[in-house]
Structure 1
Amino acid sequence: MTIQVGDPIPSVDLFVGNPENKVNTGELFARGKSVIYAVPGAFLPTCGKGRLAGFLENYEKFKSKGVNHVVCISVNDPFVMAAWGKNLKADGKIRMLADTRGKFSKKVGLTVDLTKVLGSVRSKRYAMVVTDGIVTALQVEPGGINLSCSAAKDILSVI
């Protein structure tokens, strides 16, 4: 079942930079306002140029609206997520979290089978706002892979 507005964010360990550096989503999103956006994979053209770049360009606007964390989640390994963040100069702004086995994506019910093109089940493209551990806004792309409602500008309009 897909997570809905009003639901608590699940508690799952994700990874930052390497397999030893864990971040628990339940703890990270327990207090304050956070924006989470997910992509099917790092370094994919739409994911970087369309998604991550938009969140970087609008980072100060998110902060001015009281957002404590802007987080990108993808079913990738932590080394790839760290390299992608570094490549796009996201360090210090967007936290790049690796959902190595897709546990978070499965718990929120937002997976898409991309085995034929990317080799595994991945995360759908979506963005959500989490306030004090509760989902307060959710935009899921139709079909899971398009870019029509979960870009940075779309999430800014619902905060």
Structure 2
Amino acid sequence: MIQRGNPIPSVGIKLVTASGVEDTTSDAALGQGIVVLFSVPGAFTPTCHLNHLPGFLANADQLRAAGVDKIVCAAANDHHVLKAWAEASNALGKIEFLADGNGDLARALGLDKDFSQSGMGLRYARAAMIIREGVVDAVFVEDAPGVNASGAPAVLMALEAA
């Protein structure tokens, strides 16, 4: 699993923003400034949709006040699904979405998790990280169901303590 001090790997992804969808690489999308990346098992899934994403939306201004340049949500969904989720959540313009449909970045980060028993296949583990100029500064991975260690309040506390 990626750790503090590791650079973000370069993997092809689709980035969903308020201006559209662009083909890019993970290191290009996450490599400048202070970035908070949070990963979810799936767009529109109950905990992701009702707890994880809304927490980052509610705390977006506080995260930016703490120095964050960009907030990005990663999921092993295609860009069409992530765009629909971003629109349905009124998140476009506040949060960018990293579509990793094949889970290539999830595997490269060591955040891949097998949800086959639930019929969901390979997904991201629920996690968050603080990235400074393309290098991981902190990683928060949930060790139980729910949103605690990887939620916006925990990330905000870590930023304020730094």
The answer for unaligned runs of 5 or more in structure 1 is: none
Aligned to 1:12: 11
SS at match of 1:67: coil
Structure-to-structure mapping, 1:1-159, within 5 angstroms: 2-17=1-16, 21-143=22-144, 145-159=145-159
Is the alpha carbon distance of 1:113 and 1:130 closer, same or farther for their aligned partners in structure 2, counting shifts above 3 Å? same
| In structure 2, distance between residues paired with 1:118 and 1:64 | 40
Conservation of the 8 A alpha-carbon contact between 1:16 and 1:82: no
**1:104 positional shift:** 0.5
Which runs of 5 or more residues in structure 2 are unaligned? none
CA deviations on 1:10-54 (whole Å, 9 max, x unpaired) are 11121135xx72131111222210000000000011001111000
The two structures have a TM-score, normalised by structure 1, of 0.93
The amino acid that maps onto 1:148 is N
Q: Is the 8 A contact 2:15 2:29 kept in 1?
A: no
Q: What's the Cα RMSD here?
A: 1.3
Q: Structure 1 residues 97, 90: CA separation in 2 closer, same or farther (over 3 Å shift)?
A: same
Q: Percent identity?
A: 35
Q: Do the aligned partners of 2:76 and 2:99 also contact (CA within 8 Å) in 1?
A: yes
CA–CA separation in structure 2 for the residues paired with 1:126 and 1:119: 17
- Distance between the aligned counterparts of 1:13 and 1:106, measured in 2? 12
The separation in 1 between residues aligned to 2:157 and 2:6, in whole angstroms, is: 21
Measured after TM superposition, the shift of residue 126 of structure 1 is: 0.2
Check whether the contact 1:29–1:133 (CA below 8 A) recurs between aligned residues. yes
CA distance in structure 2 between the aligned counterparts of 1:91 and 1:148, rounded to whole angstroms:
24
Do the aligned partners of 1:56 and 1:94 also contact (CA within 8 Å) in 2? yes
Tell me how far apart the structure 1 counterparts of residues 89 and 119 of structure 2 sit (CA, whole Å). Answer: 21
Number of aligned residue pairs: 155
Q: Distance in 1 between matches of 2:55 and 2:111?
A: 21
